[in-house]
Amino acid sequence: MMTLQEIISSIESLPQAEQDYLLDYLSKKKEESRGDNFWQGLQKFRSVIENEGIIFTDDDFADLRDRSVGREINL
């Protein structure tokens, strides 16, 4: 198995076009996995809510919003 430093060295020895391709490929893979992680997290959250029998209504979210106009402005 290669060490991280060996991997980096082997990447640096590639032609610039191949380095660019690899970087583009890794960026796309990372971006694709973000959506998967979000969806998996959402599904896990829903599963926990359902399994625990947690029920929430609009009343649970009442008074969460700060209705103040904000900080005072001194001119």
Q: Does 35 map to a domain?
A: yes
Instruction: List, for residues 23-73, the tens digit of each pLDDT value.
Output: 999 998 888 777 777 888 889 999 999 999 999 888 888 888 877 777 777
Please count the structural domains in the chain: 1
Q: Does 23 map to a domain?
A: yes
Task: Supply the range of the domain harboring residue 36.
Answer: 7-52
Give the pLDDT confidence score for residue 58 in this predicted structure: 87
What radius of gyration do the chain's Cα atoms show? 24
Q: Does 66 map to a domain?
A: no
Give the pLDDT confidence score for residue 21 in this predicted structure: 96
Give the pLDDT confidence score for residue 66 in this predicted structure: 79
Token code pair at residue 30: 């990372």
* Contact by Cβ (8 Å): 14, 22: yes
pTM of this structure: 0.45
pLDDT classification of 14: cutoffs 50, 70, 90: very high
Q: Does 32 map to a domain?
A: yes
